[in-house]
Structure formats: structure tokens, C-alpha cells
Structure 1
Amino acid sequence: MRRSGSKVIFSFVLLISGFLVAYSYQQTKNNAEVVQLSDQELEKDFYYRQQLINIEKENKELREEVEQKKADIQSMEGSLATQEQKVADYVEEKKHLQKLTGDLPVKGDGVQVTLKDSDYVPSEENVNQYIVHESHIHKVINELLSSGANAIAINGQRLYRDSYIACTGPVVTVDGVQHPAPFVITAIGDPDVLMPSLELTHGVVDQLVNDNVEVALEKKQTISLNARISEEG
């Protein structure tokens, strides 16, 4: 009887074990079916993954392109700034040259040089040796120009690049306009440079005094000279 009871118990244990194994297998099979994909679904999954990879690659390339464009724009802006500065410099240089040629009015500090005939003329001397000649005026003008004068006028009449000065008896003609003595020469420029250049030892002033010309120098704070009047106007 004991042996028969043991067999029954053993058979019951095997039955329960078999049932548990079968149940576990079935559950595992059912769970596997939840995640199992068909071939078509696998192809779609691969396609979408590949598309995502391509999009990420394109986004990276676009970001790199944007950064390159930013660098190019910065470079262009720097180049434009340099070009704008060059244009501004050219404009200023053009204005400066126009002032020198008389095409634009000019105003600034400068000096005034007054040349007068000698008040005393000995009776036995030639009077021409005691009056201002065009050579004296040329000496003053040349010295002023070499010292950096930007614009010069004689008795208020501005000199231009093509001006001419001629001595006609007791008067001096500037571009066809006659001017009697005294001759007031005004020059726009740095007075601290123009004045010493005229007063150099054995310089222009000394030479004029030796030629019996009376010379007076004066610094001027404001000198205004008009532009050339166009013949077409």
C-alpha cells in the first residue's frame, strides 16, 4: 500500500510539473507573439530608421553650412567696412585736392604777409629798386606753398593752379585783375609752420628787406577763401 501511495504522489507531482512546464511554454509563446514583427513591418522599421539617419546627416551638413555662411558674412562685412573706409578716405582726399585747386571754398587759420613799397626813396636811386615786384610776390608764395599752405590769395583774390602773376608798372596783375600796393598775401595753413619758414635767417623776409621792400607778418585765426566761379555758371 505504501508503494502504491508513493506512486500516486509521484504521479501527481509529475502531473503538476508537466502542467507548469506547459503553462510556462504557452505564456512564453504568447509573449513572443507580442514583440514579433512581420517581414513587412521589419522593412518599414528599417526604412524609417534609415530615413532618420539620413535626416540627421542632412541636419548636420546644414548646420555646418550655416556656420560657414556666418563666417562668410562676417568676412564680407569686414571687407565692406574696409571698402567703406577706403571710399571715405578717397572722398576726403578728393575734397582736399579740390580745396587745393580752388574747386571748393576753404576756411582756417593761417598767416598774412603784407608787402609795401619803401616809404623812403633816395633821390639819386632808381625808384624801381624800392617797389614791390612780381618776383617778390613769387618768393613769398613759393615759400608758403613749400611750407604746406592749403590756399593763398592776393588782396583777397584767390590763386589757383593755373593762376598767373605779372608786374605792370606800379601794379601787379593777378589773372588779369590789377592790384596796387600794398599787396596783402593771405595763406591758410598751420601758422606755427608758415611763420617760421618765412622768418628763417637769410630767408624770404630777409631777402625782401634787402630789396627795400617793407614786410609785415601776422598770424590770422580765420581766413576764408571762396571757390573758383565756374565759367559755365
Structure 2
Amino acid sequence: MDKRNARILRILAIVAIGLNLFILASQIKFGDLGGGTELALAKTFANGLIGDLQELARTLDVAEKSSVKQSLAKLHYDVYLVSNQAELAEIMQNSASKTRDLIISEYAHLNAEKVLAVINGDQEVQYARSQIILTVGPLPTGGYDVQLPNILRESTLDQLKEIENLFSKEALQEFYEPYRHLSTFKVLIENGVAQLVSQNQEQDTIKYIEGEIEILRADYAKINKTAGFAEISGPGVKISVYDQVFSVSAGDLRRIVGELYSSGAAAIAINGQRLAVNSYIVDSEQGIIVDGVIIRSNPVVLQAIGDTTTLVAGVDLLFSVSLKEMLSFDIENRENIVLPAKAIQ
């Protein structure tokens, strides 16, 4: 093991053990360890851990990152101001842990830039015009993997497996599970260019996708109702068609149905049989068949949901011109009609 990785291993081990000790800090009697007040000894111990975090940042070449410098400075200041061991334990358990994670995340970001360079060299990425999001994660023995599905070529995936990560050295692989998520990131491919997705941008993308899903669900429900495969209710009309000079035929019903749809009907049923996009109305020796079901006639009852004024006007026009003196009818306005979903055949 080289000195750099040995140092990283030692620091990570010290920090992990130290932070775990501080979980029970409110119960520890530091005065029993000899000399000085309990709080003073606890602060000395805490500052030692902060020093280890600074060493970790220097070893991983992220000590000059503004976010790391600010986090370490705030941690020092918070420890200086603390007035009791319980507060100190909370600071070390929360703020120190976040600082450690930030240092590792910044290191992962450095490697992410190398990952981006490889991905941007992939011709499939350069030709991509639709928006694609990839999830890139570290492998337990070094290198990076891209979750499926992805558009990357095998040669690109092989190159990614050669990029160093925190776990490239055997001594650091025991930290894979606790730190894997810190080295996992999203890559957005858009207009032939790959770029890192920030946490805020990722949240915005998720919200956008969720919004699109809700729109699709609403459209699906609307299409389902229009197509006849979902229950629908609303104001409409009830039409009873009677034999007069001629008996009611399938052709007559098709003309009435066509007129109702032309007049804005959102849904129609014949003798309780809901019509859908794949419905058919035909004559047979047994009588009129609607979607395989023989319906009784004289009268044939149609229900249509829609604007009652427009529907009545359309039906009146049809029976006063095309069906004049051939058939008779009654039409009633209804405040609410409920038409069940068409059973999918």
C-alpha cells in the first residue's frame, strides 16, 4: 500500500471511530481520563477529529475547495462556542459527519470530471438529441459502472472501469458500502453533450417528470372516457326511437349515433350498451346487434352525455330531414347520466 492510501485509510478509520464515540459523549466522563475539565478534554478530542478531517481533505486534494474550507471553519467555530458535552456530541455527530461526507463527495466530483470526459467522447452521446439521464456509480474494486439502460458503447464502458475511485486500493474497499452513495452521480445527456446533474437540478428534473406523468395520467383518463373504456357521467339526453313506417335498423342507429357525436356527445349507450372506439352496429336475422349483443327494439333507447341544447338540436334536425316520417322518437333532457365503462373484449 502506498503512503497516500495508507494515510487515507488511517484517517477514515480514526474519523469513523471518533464520531461513533461522540454519539455517547453525553455519558462519557472525560475528567476520568485525567487532567482538565470534562468539556475542555472533549473539545480537545473534537478538535483532533477536525484536524483529521483537514488531513483527509489535503490527502484527497480537495482542501482548497471553498465548500470544504467553509465547512471545516464552521465546524471549528461551533466547537469553540459549545457550552456542554451534549451539544458537542450533537455537533460532532451531525456537522462533522456531513463535513466528512462533503470531503468525499468533492473527491468524487473530481473523478466525475474524468468520467464526463470519457462519456463525451462516445459517438452515441454526440449523436443523441433526446434528453437522457445516466446513473454512474463506483465499482467496489475501482472504476465506474453505468446503470442500464444506457446508450454507451462497450468501449466507453470499459474505459470508465479504468478510472480511479476511492475504492481503487484494496485497503479502502472496506468503506465501499458506507461511502458508495457519495461517489454515485447523475449525468444528463442533451443535444450531444454530457454534463453532471446537480442535486437541485436533479430534483427539478424529478419534479418535471412527475408533472409530465400527472399530465399523461389525466390525458389517459380523458382518452379512456372518450374511447369508452372508463365510466363517465354528466348532463345529457335520453332518446327513445320507435318503429313507424319502417322498423328501426342498424343503419338508422348508426346515423343517429353519428349525429350525436357530431353534436358533441362525449359518450353514448344503446339500450345500456356503452359504445367505444371499436364498437359496431349491424343487422342480423335475430335483430340488431351492438358489439355482439342482440338488442330489443321498439323502442331502442339511446343515452348521450353532452350539451343538452346542442344534442337536442342535432337530433331534431336529423328526424325532421333524413328520418322524417320513417321513425318516431321522444327525447328527454337529463341532469345526470352515468354510463359505465365498456368491457374490454
Q: Which residue of 1 aligns with 2:339?
A: 225
Kindly tell me the number of residue pairs found equivalent between the two proteins: 165
Which of these residues, 190, 194, 197, is aligned with residue 311 of structure 2? Answer: 194
SS in 2 for 1:91: helix
Q: Which residue of 1 aligns with 2:279?
A: 163
One-letter identity of the residue aligned with 1:78? D
- Structure with bigger gyration radius: 1
Q: Which residue of 2 aligns with 1:149?
A: 265
Identity rate of aligned residues, in percent?
A: 25
CA shift, 1:139, in A, is 1.2
Backbone CA RMSD of aligned residues? 3.7
Q: Which residue of 2 aligns with 1:60?
A: 66
Matched, 1:207 2:321: yes
Residues in 2 aligned to 1:82 and 1:112: alpha-carbon distance in whole angstroms:
43
CA shift, 1:91, in A, is 0.8
Residues in 2 aligned to 1:134 and 1:182: alpha-carbon distance in whole angstroms:
13
Matched, 1:93 2:219: yes
CA displacement, residues 2-47 of structure 1 (integer Å, 9 cap, x when unaligned):
xxxxxxxxxxxxxxxxxxxxxxxxxxxxxxxxxxxxxxxxxxxxxx
Q: Which residue of 2 aligns with 1:6?
A: none
SS in 2 for 1:210: coil
CA shift, 1:214, in A, is 1.0
SS in 2 for 1:80: helix
SS in 2 for 1:228: coil
Distance 1:137 1:212, change over 3 A: same
CA shift, 1:191, in A, is 2.5
- Contact conserved, 1:130 with 1:211, CA < 8 A, in 2? no
Residues in 2 aligned to 1:230 and 1:136: alpha-carbon distance in whole angstroms:
26
Structure 2 gaps of 5+ residues are 1-53, 71-101, 103-196
Which structure would you say has the larger RCO, counting Cα contacts within 8 Å and 6 or more residues apart?
Answer: 1
SS in 2 for 1:108: strand
Structure 1 gaps of 5+ residues are 1-50, 66-70, 119-128
SS in 1 for 2:260: helix
| More divergent stretch after superposition (208-217 vs 107-116) | 208-217
Which of these residues, 202, 208, 215, is aligned with residue 82 of structure 1? Answer: 208
